[in-house]
Amino acid sequence: MKHVLVTGATGRTGALVLKKLRERPQDFQTRGFARDAAKAKELFGSAEGFVFGDVTKPETLAGALAGVEALVILTSSTPRMKAPPQPGEKPQFEFAAGGMPEEVDYRGQKAQIDAARAASVAHVVLVGSMGGTIEGHPLNRLGDGNVLVWKRKAEAYLIDSGLDYTIIRPGGLLDKPGGMRELLVGKDDAFLKNPPEGVPAAVPRADVAETVAQALLSPYARNKAFDVISRPEESSPAPTTDFDRLFAGTTPGL
């Protein structure tokens, strides 16, 4: 049984990951890390099994990692709309004070990686996002945050840390059931630059959660970084169930 800390555990994907791991008590003993106790109670019924802190305040991380064997990083900056746009205007976005991508997606993730190394954590799974090789990606323009640039820098820092890592970069996240599609893995945003015919660069959040769980168990996921998307349900030959085989098709390094 692995002792796992999931950060960002009250986010839309993070909550699914923590719930997925808690469905397998024979494999995982879990702890969630989040900022808001009320939100944890709303999503999980109670705050039991949670530690509360802020990844931009590294001093709050050390106790959360005590006795942990694997860390799953799901923290992410979140843009917000400045004001409802006027007719014909494009919406404008900003980040809350202290919540810029440089602070959350780079410095906050760097702090988690440093804390994991200090706590002798054996494996770090980082869930990022596709698009990090495309400087002009629209997400980088939201609030002038360069979010994908900073995520990519955090991924490079993890690889250089000496810790065993798995970096999972999903495409666009879908709120659809998991376990019903074939998953495809790639590298360097190839799914965005040259997408397979009839396959959007997207994947259900539930399938990302399953990929995280499987990566914690499979030796084929160690020291690998990859993009992941899914075929549309109606065109999938069969749902992915052999994750060792899926991970065997991935490679080390950014």
- Is there a domain that residue 44 lies in? yes
Rounded Cα–Cα distance for residues 94 and 230 (Å) = 30
pLDDT > 90? residue 43: yes
In a domain, 169, yes or no: yes
pLDDT at 143: 86
Q: Has residue 254 been placed in a domain?
A: no
Instruction: Provide the number of structural domains found in the chain.
Output: 1
Q: Which residues pair with 6 in a beta bridge?
A: 32, 72
**Chain mean pLDDT for the chain:** 95
Does some domain include residue 253? Answer: no
Q: Would 152 be classed as within a structural domain?
A: yes
The pair of three-digit structure tokens given for residue 47, joined into one six-digit string: 């705050």
For the segment 65-108, what is each residue's pLDDT rounded down to a tens digit?
A: 999 999 999 999 988 888 777 777 788 889 888 999 999 999 99
pLDDT band, very low/low/confident/very high, at 168 (cuts 50, 70, 90): very high
Question: Tens of pLDDT along 139-152?
Answer: 998 888 999 999 99
Q: What is the pLDDT of residue 204?
A: 98
Phi and psi at 85, nearest 5°, equal -70, 150
pLDDT category of residue 16 using cuts at 50, 70 and 90: very high
Residue 172 lies in a domain: yes
Give the catalytic positions in this structure: 129
Question: What is d(CA 95, CA 108) in angstroms, rounded to the nearest whole number?
Answer: 15
Q: For 23-41, what is the mean pLDDT?
A: 97
Domain at 51, CATH number: 3.40.50.720
Instruction: Tell me whether residue 30 is in a domain.
Output: yes
Q: Range of 171's domain?
A: 2-248
The verdict on residue 143 lying in a domain is yes
